[in-house]
Amino acid sequence: MPPPVRRIAVDRDPTIAPPRTISNGSGPVAAAQSTRSRSSRPPATNVRDRMSIDGVWLAYGENWVVRDVSLKVRQGEVLALIGASGSGKTTLLRSLNRLTEVTDGAARSGEITLDGQDIHELEVNDLRRRVTMVFQQPNPFPMSIFDNVAYALAERPGRGGRRRRRSPEIELAVSDALKRAGLYDEVADDLERPALRLSGGQQQRLCIARALAANPEVLLLDEPCSALDPISTATIEELIVSLRESVAIVIVTHNLQQAFRVADHVAFMHLGELVEYGSSEQVFDRPAMQRTRDYISGAFG
């Protein structure tokens, strides 16, 4: 095992003074609430397991960047993966739709299931349509808004002709996905506009719309707001909370307040290990592990 990036005291309180923003309340929770309230959110209902991660190890080459992680991904809930850079959150996220396999030398061990089926027994493109992903940088394709979303729609084999040909059902599916992503009203007047002319926040919501158009069971978000301004971030956070009823959501974030605002469950990872997992109230208010306490109080990260 490699030495930790920074040695963390396990048996005493953090010695580094917490940042000012959290010193004038009672911990990070108060700080998060002072920025934007979370209390208006209805509690999660109709929660059920979608994915199960069981003793998963992941490596690039011989470097095991995720070690023995077990988690549950539930529909009706948002799961946030938090942790410092290099803690393996993004790798874990990318393994959920086997996007790690695109990289040479990626290795894995352990079991990940989607609705009880091992994802490595599913056809990979099938899996990626059921578990779609939104990336850190907005990455719309260099084509129109409509075509961007239509590209994600399931192929209709045996029909012949061009798939891009408009049909009422495709148009309906596209506008539906744009509505779910909260972008429709802003772009409805001209869906033929090039996607790259949208603002950064709109581009990211277009990417979410694209990911939703495939009608996935699980939506993976890899730091979706890190390239965005606060207002776009707030819009997308509200969107995430509103989507959790219809799709299971896993979000990787560096932003603890964001994790607190959107997540129902939080998993704190450090150097590839899962340190703590629990409801977000529990992890943020009463963390069981000293390392979690250090991290969320700003001692490192």
d(CA 190, CA 142): 16
Q: Which is nearer to other proteins, 136 or 246 (CB)?
A: 136
Burial of residue 257, with CB atoms counted within 10 A of its CB: 0-12 exposed, 13-18 middle, 19 or more buried:
buried
Given the complex with other proteins, which of 62 and 155 has the nearer CB atom? Answer: 155
φ, ψ of residue 25 in degrees (nearest 5) = -140, -150
Identify the three-state secondary structure at position 34.
helix
Q: How far is the CB of 153 from other proteins (least distance, A)?
A: 9
Closest to other proteins by CB, 79 or 152: 152
CA distance 88 to 275: 12
Residue placing its CB nearer to other proteins in the complex, 80 or 219: 219
Collapsing DSSP to helix, strand or coil, 227 comes out as coil
Closest CB 124 distance from other proteins, rounded Å: 8
**What is the strand order of the sheet 248-252 is part of?**
117-118, 106-114, 48-60, 63-75, 273-279, 265-270, 78-82, 248-252, 218-222, 131-134
CB 249 within 8 A of CB 289: no
> Closest separation between CB of residue 144 and other proteins, Å?
8
Residue from 156, 261, 168, 244 nearest 208 by CA: 244
**Closest approach of other proteins to the CB of residue 76, in Å:** 23
Question: φ and ψ at 110, to 5 degrees?
Answer: 95, 180
Is the Cβ of residue 48 or residue 166 nearer to other proteins in the bound state? 166
Q: Which is nearer to other proteins, 28 or 224 (CB)?
A: 224
> Minimum distance between the CB of residue 52 and other proteins, rounded to whole angstroms?
21
Residues that bind other proteins in the complex, under the rule CB under 8 A: 97, 99, 102, 125-130, 132-133, 135, 137, 139-144, 151-152, 194-197, 207, 210-211, 214
Reduced DSSP (H G I as helix, E B as strand, rest coil) percent helix, strand, coil of the chain, to 5? 35, 25, 40
CB of 81 to other proteins, least distance (A): 17
**Residue 224 structure tokens:** 């979706």
Nearer to other proteins, 90 or 235 (CB): 90
> What span, in angstroms and rounded, lies between the C-alpha atoms of 218 and 134?
11
Q: Which helix (H) or strand (E) holds 201?
A: helix 200-213
At closest approach, how far in Å is the CB of 222 from other proteins? Answer: 10
Report the alpha-carbon distance of residue 299 to residue 49 in Å, rounded.
34
